[in-house]
Amino acid sequence: MLVLGTAAQAFGQNATIVGTVTDPSGSIIANVKITATHVETNLTHTFTTNDAGQYVAVDLPVGHYNIKAEATGFKVAEQKGLVLNVGDRTRVDFQMALGASQETITVEANAVRVQADSGEVSNLITGQQLAQLAVNGRGIYQLAALAPGASSQINPSAPNTPVGGDAGVEFNGMRQNHNIYLLDGGEDDDRGGAGGMSIAPSSDAIAEFRALTSNYSADYGLSSGGTMTLVLKSGTNTLHASAWEFNRNDALDARNFFNPPPQKVAELRVNVFGFNVGGPVTFGKLYNPDRKKTFFFYNMEWRKYINGGLTNQTVPNPLSYGGDFSSNPAVINVPTTAQVAPGVLFANCPGGVAPAGVVQGSQFPGNKIPSCMINANASALLTAGIFPKSNAVDANGNPTFIGGNNSPTNLREEIVRIDHNFSSKFSVFGHFVDEQVSQGFGISQWSGANVPTVGDTFGNPSYSGVIHTTYAISPTLLNEASFNYNGNRINIIPFAGSGLASLALPTGYVSTNSRLFTGPNNLSRIPNIDLNGGINSHFEIASWPWRNKADDYQIRDDISLTKGAHQLKFGGSWAIYKKVQDLFGTTQGSFNFDGTFTTPSGSKSKPGNDLADFLLGDAKSYNELAVQDKGLWNNVSWAMYVQDNWRVNHRLTLNLGLRWDGVPHTYEANNRMGNFYPSLYNTANKATFNTNGTICSSGNPATDPGCSAISPGLGTSPNSILAGVPLYLNGIGIPGQNGVPKGLVNNHWAAFGPRIGFAYDLTGNGKTVVRGGFGIMYERIQGNDMYNAGPNIPFSLGVTLNNVEMTNPGISLASGSAAAKPINAADITGLGVNNYKLPASYQYSFGVQHALNAKSVLSVSYVGNQNRHQNDYSEYNLPSASALPGLIGGTTKYNLAPGLPFPGFHSIRLAGNEANSHYNALQVDLNSQIGRDLQLRAYYTLSRAIDPSTGGNGGGDLANVSNPYAGWVYDVGPSGYDRTHNAAFNFIYDIPVFRRSSSRLLRSTVGGWQVSGIVVVESGLPINVGISGNQSGNGLPNATNRPNLTGSISYPHTIGQWFDTTAFTLPAVGAFGTLGHNALRGPGRDNWNMSLFKSFTFSETRGSRLEFRVESFNTWNHTQFNNVSANLGDSKFGQLTSAFDPRIFQLGAKLYF
């Protein structure tokens, strides 16, 4: 039987003790009283062994325990110092000796134990590691990466913030946004982000956390990656408090390899300070005199960062602003007549004819563009300063800008937790977190911008709340119920940065026809200007200003039942996620220049110049959103599960579970959505076009050349802002009409996930355990596929045009004319499969754990997974491959290209889930306490992760298929986070000198030293080689080309040539390259972080002390390169271009009392 004590913990935050009690002959003993005393609160939990001599103690708070077994005729058996961590399932068996019950046999619990009752694969970060391992920025993501199977590319200097933080950790090859975070059992996810937390709690407020990475029990779900369960600290039966300050300053740091003297060092200031206090809520004899009823914990922290603006970016040469490229070795050609009509090219020249010596298709005389050919808007933007003036040159002599705006971060966080025991059967706890974040970014975030002439401010208040109740219905039946909330707000405002006076259109900018639509252009914003042909400078205001509001409500109930050798648990949950979010899109327009029009005809080796195309105003493509509307998105999910942890016999435990996840697709609450369905497209109503590539709008050949009638398939928008704008709606479906579901796709309800695990004590003495398991985990789609579809017609309208003139993007460069009222083919981003299956992961593991001694456990495991229905985007509106050379050269209009299956649309980019991935690994884990003073944890992983998506999307979903003709198989290759070798160890060493001296003075003044460290040695991440210039996308929207591999891949491993660049050539015009996805490898890493602590103890009984810390990151100051220029055609192709931080010092002080 089981008698439950008080203060049980929430789902995902608890621990369990199981055990068997026997006599000296090995026979079981029934009705033994088991008492577990929680040292921190002095609360007791009482249990009784059943007829099989077994007991189960469920839902115990984390912390230290003393366990005692009592039975008539036997000596009392006691085990002291047992540590229970979050998610533990720990076995404590007793063999009781005959004798009087007044006698007690006491043993100390093993510091490290084998896991003999579960096949789960997980990793624990203890409170000691959180407190004593140095982490740059004091964020927990870097500690989460200290696990077998984890791969990370976290920027060690990233601020510890929620949405804006760096959450780049992958577990067992799974994509990073398949991770889920639980804070005291409540979700702590920002579902629109790339797998990050909506609250980034202070590490001083976290008791500990566990990363579940494979084969976990059925009460966990909605995630196929890592499940991070974090537990906030709670009050104890005595009052404790602490205060801290951590500081970083660039004056203490070494120089980055790419920032040598006399270059300026970026300003860096980090101040993290705060305090916490916790204990019993008591008023002497009036309330809680025994200090066992109510406890509180309060944590307050401020984080202040200043990251200096030190952009190092190639920029246009100011000497060329007037069209003078005479010092440029590249041939700058006059666009051909097939590319740009003379009436467009020479419109502002005297008589509208070519200046003397200028011949279309030939080189500009002297490589100089005549002033009359320079576009007025390009000149106005350059004069205004959208690109910073160069103040340096790179190793290749290219003009470079070094400098920019500082990026400040200010965060204030309050955390309060209350635990209350109403009785021995009923308890409740709750927390509330209020986190206020204000950041400034010197370069516009969440965009392609790379110059500091435009930045933005980022406001991000976030909140979290949990209420959790526990009720012991009977000695064998326990119920937990909880209500959880987390939410945040985002407010992004752009500002003009270095050298730019305003984001408004500058003097001299001709705006009469510079946009396609007359709807609102917030702040009269400058359009995005992207130079993609070699200079690769990007000015992007992007979608800002922009706002987001997200609220997540969760209710769940869990029941635990002990029946003989079975510990049963079953329950369910319901959640609703509500998001109000502005659409992403550029109502101000976005121009792309890649050198297409100034490239010598047929040349591959001598491309033109993106700046020259910009000066001419000849854009390869232009994109504009008609309306930056907002969506009201809802997502509802249900789950039910049953779990049986069955102690078959004293050597074998089975973990058997089944989970069902009901995750209907996200939907827009007002049905303001449009999606393209091939089945709804009527070929009899396919669009007709005029010679300019716009849809026939009048049928009058005089104003609509090539049209004899209005195109069929036209309609209007229900959005009043677009009233009167004709739209081509053939194939468009709206939720609630023509059988279109409200989530645009049919929901997948058959998401049943079995969980099977086992643990077998191989020798019967608890020292060697064989463990393994299998499980199917389903992934809840975050919702980005729906948010991205928000700008679709008919409620909004996004248009992309190719080969257009900058002053009037409605004009075709080739013809020089436009329809009187052009109807432009819309872009569609939507969902492409009616029966949208949930991504599923089939996970399995098999391994051995062996206790080397009482304080050391070695684990060796095989861990793998097969993943199906992974998400990506594919292009559906593809022309015949024979049309690609004309599209690349700018002589063919996309809408007029032969073979388009759905005339009337430009790009139709639809999300699918047909991609597969897999992972296989050998994982080794050593957990050891050596002697009394050294704690060591070491990991090694030998792995291979294959995923066609993550290399192109930072570990997230919904990357574009590179070659839409071949589909996702063209991108099959190593995952973007694949590391062949990954080794790490961390240690905490209490230096014994004078630590145990008989003199208190010596212990306090000379003793009290500690050293700790984190060491990571890992092989490099994959490099996905691409192409710059007009073949980068092969003329297709959303495509990404790769070069041909014509030699063997080799690695000189020099700064100027990491890999042999001569092994790659451009493919034939219109072809996709033969080089595989992520085919090369970047530099590995060998990093040491170390800390030295000195404590001055004031009271040994109460633990009062003052602790000073010196923490160093990259202690040995090894240069650790982390980026290689990987686009063929770039001036730095094959060169190492950046490095992780050099040696950094962080100073800290903590006061405990």
Please work out, in degrees rounded to the nearest 5, the angle formed at the alpha carbon of residue 95 by the alpha carbons of 92 and 96: 120
Q: How far apart are CA 55 and CA 93, in angstroms?
A: 9
Indicate the range of 75-89, 200-214, 650-664 predicted with least confidence.
Answer: 75-89
Grade residue 23 by pLDDT with cuts at 50, 70 and 90: confident
Grade residue 3 by pLDDT with cuts at 50, 70 and 90: very low
From the number of C-beta atoms within 10 Å of its C-beta (0-12, 13-18, 19+), residue 72 rates as: exposed
DSSP class of 969: G
pLDDT at 701: 86
- CA distances for 31 relative to 1, 46, 49, 74, 80, angstroms: 8, 12, 5, 12, 22
Give yes or no for residue 956 having a pLDDT over 70. no
Phi, psi dihedral angles at 776 (to 5 degrees)? -110, 120
3 state DSSP class of 1061: helix
Indicate the range of 27-36, 568-577, 819-828, 1044-1053 predicted with least confidence.
Answer: 819-828
The average pLDDT across 823-843 equals 90
Per DSSP, helices labelled H in 93-198 are: 127-132, 141-144
CA 607 to chain centre: 36
The pair of three-digit structure tokens given for residue 656, joined into one six-digit string:
């058997």
- Picking from 122, 113, 123, the residue whose alpha carbon sits closest to that of residue 766 is 113
From the number of C-beta atoms within 10 Å of its C-beta (0-12, 13-18, 19+), residue 1050 rates as: exposed
The average pLDDT across 219-236 equals 91
Listing DSSP states for 435-481 in one string gives: EEEEEEESS-SSSS--STTEEEEEE--EEEEEEEEEEEEETTEEEEE
CB-based contact 641:657 (threshold 8 Å): yes
Between 232 and 723, where is the model more confident? 232
Cα dihedral 994→1108→135→859 (10° resolution): 20
**17: CB partners within 8 A, 6+ apart:** 36, 55, 56, 57, 60, 65, 67, 82, 84, 90, 91, 92
Phi-psi region of 203 (alpha: psi -120 to 50; beta: other; left: phi over 0): alpha
Q: How far apart are CA 523 and CA 379, in angstroms?
A: 21
pLDDT at 5: 37
The pair of three-digit structure tokens given for residue 238, joined into one six-digit string:
């005595």
CA 600 to chain centre: 42
- Picking from 332, 316, 322, 329, the residue whose alpha carbon sits closest to that of residue 370 is 322
Give yes or no for residue 114 having a pLDDT over 60. yes
The average pLDDT across 324-353 equals 94
pLDDT at 953: 41
Grade residue 2 by pLDDT with cuts at 50, 70 and 90: very low
- Picking from 195, 199, 184, 186, the residue whose alpha carbon sits closest to that of residue 223 is 195
pLDDT at 1065: 96
- Picking from 198, 181, 206, 184, the residue whose alpha carbon sits closest to that of residue 276 is 206
Please work out, in degrees rounded to the nearest 5, the angle formed at the alpha carbon of residue 66 by the alpha carbons of 61 and 69: 115
Indicate the range of 17-26, 538-547, 582-591, 750-759 predicted with least confidence.
Answer: 17-26
pLDDT at 804: 92
Between 155 and 723, where is the model more confident? 723
Between 135 and 1042, where is the model more confident? 1042
Give yes or no for residue 348 having a pLDDT over 80. yes
Indicate the range of 691-700, 816-825, 980-989, 1093-1102 predicted with least confidence.
Answer: 816-825
The pair of three-digit structure tokens given for residue 11, joined into one six-digit string:
């789902």
pLDDT at 805: 94
The average pLDDT across 179-206 equals 85
pLDDT at 197: 85
Domain boundaries in the chain?
A: 15-108, 313-403+589-623
Mean pLDDT, all residues of the chain: 90
The average pLDDT across 533-539 equals 90
Between 430 and 819, where is the model more confident? 430
pLDDT at 160: 81
**Per residue in 1052-1108, pLDDT tens?**
999 999 999 999 999 999 999 999 999 999 999 999 999 999 999 888 777 789 999
Q: In one letter, which amino acid is 65? A: Y
Q: What is this structure's pTM?
A: 0.88
Grade residue 757 by pLDDT with cuts at 50, 70 and 90: very high
Q: How far apart are CA 95 and CA 23, in angstroms?
A: 5
Give yes or no for residue 186 having a pLDDT over 60. yes
Looking at the chain, the whole-number percentage of residues with pLDDT higher than 70 is 95
Q: How far apart are CA 189 and CA 182, in angstroms?
A: 8
**Per residue in 440-457, pLDDT tens?**
999 998 899 999 999 999
Phi, psi dihedral angles at 738 (to 5 degrees)? 55, 35
Cross-strand bridge partners of residue 915: 870
Give yes or no for residue 7 having a pLDDT over 50. no
Phi, psi dihedral angles at 371 (to 5 degrees)? -60, -30
3 state DSSP class of 204: helix
Between 87 and 1074, where is the model more confident? 1074
Would strands 454-459 and 462-474 be described as parallel, antiparallel, or unpaired? unpaired
**Per residue in 543-565, pLDDT tens?**
999 999 999 999 999 999 988 88
Quick one: CATH architecture of 15-108? Sandwich (2.60)
**Per residue in 77-86, pLDDT tens?**
888 888 888 8
- Picking from 102, 101, 100, 96, the residue whose alpha carbon sits closest to that of residue 23 is 96
The average pLDDT across 41-58 equals 86
Give yes or no for residue 540 having a pLDDT over 90. yes
**Per residue in 123-157, pLDDT tens?**
888 888 988 998 877 778 888 888 899 998 777 66
**Per residue in 476-510, pLDDT tens?**
899 999 999 999 999 999 999 988 999 999 999 99
Q: In one letter, which amino acid is 650? A: H
**Per residue in 1012-1022, pLDDT tens?**
999 999 999 99
The per-residue b/e assignment along 939-961, b for 16 or more CB within 10 angstroms, e otherwise, is bbbebebbbbbbbbbbbbbbbbb
